């Protein structure tokens, strides 16, 4: 059958199916017209959605955003229920999106039995390198499903930006001076932002 038909029957995107084909996970061939024909029977090479082990992953950068963490989980559970997904794990983690040592996320990524990870936004999974993770999982017959492709709000972005600045300051000035340098840089940026948004009471 055509790759597009195979993807639709399996409940996955065409892009994911194409990656599986290119990675050698699907038996088939490409016709002279460019159409990819899959010869793998449905249900043998890749597990169907019904038989997948599915996890929800939620993340916020700081503990004070815990309400947002619960909100993410609820929205993802509602989404999975509407799609008919049977969720086996709801993972909630507090940590920066640039931190590549988050233990709960690492546990999901290294669990070969976990076939689908559902997140609300790409940056809930990681601030950088999402495509690398997605392609590596696709080569294992696993995938990530992002329910909202729109850009996320700036609240969590600020927290991650502070983490980046702190890291660079620590390298440049040492741990002792990094906190003061970071606070100064953030304050200057905030003052600059305020100067571009004059008060409504000021004359136009």
Which is the catalytic residue, given 13, 61, 167, 178? 61
Q: Give 196-203 contacts, CB < 8 A, sequence gap 24+.
A: none
Residues 6+ apart with CB under 8 A from 84: 49, 50
The two structure tokens encoding residue 64:
């004070």
Is 13 one of the catalytic residues? no
Closest of 146, 166, 182, 191 to residue 96, by C-alpha: 166
Across the chain, the runs of DSSP E, i.e. the strands, are 28-30, 36-38, 54-60, 87-94, 116-119, 143-146
Closest of 123, 94, 88 to residue 108, by C-alpha: 88
Query: What does the alpha-carbon distance between residue 93 and residue 162 come to, in Å, rounded to a whole number?
Result: 18
Closest of 61, 34, 18 to residue 156, by C-alpha: 61
As beta bridge partners, residue 28 has 38
Which sequence positions are flagged as catalytic? 61
């Amino acid at each position: 059958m055509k790759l597009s038909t195979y993807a639709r029957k399996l409940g996955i995107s065409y892009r994911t199916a194409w990656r599986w084909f290119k990675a050698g996970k699907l038996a088939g061939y490409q016709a002279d017209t460019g159409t990819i024909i899959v010869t793998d029977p449905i249900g043998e090479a890749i597990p169907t959605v019904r038989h997948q082990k599915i996890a929800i992953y939620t993340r916020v950068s700081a503990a004070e955003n815990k309400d947002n963490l619960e909100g993410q989980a609820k929205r993802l559970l509602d989404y999975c229920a509407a799609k008919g997904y049977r969720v086996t794990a709801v993972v909630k983690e507090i940590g920066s999106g640039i931190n590549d040592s988050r233990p709960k996320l690492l546990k999901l990524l290294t669990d070969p039995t976990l076939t689908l990870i559902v997140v609300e936004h790409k940056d809930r999974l990681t601030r950088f390198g999402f495509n690398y993770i997605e392609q590596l999982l696709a080569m294992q017959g696993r995938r990530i499903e992002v329910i909202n492709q729109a850009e996320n709000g700036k609240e969590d972005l600020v927290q991650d930006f502070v983490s980046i600045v702190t890291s660079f300051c620590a390298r440049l000035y040492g741990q002792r001076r990094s906190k003061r340098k970071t606070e100064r840089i953030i304050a200057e940026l905030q003052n600059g932002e305020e100067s571009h948004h004059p008060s409504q009471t000021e004359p136009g």
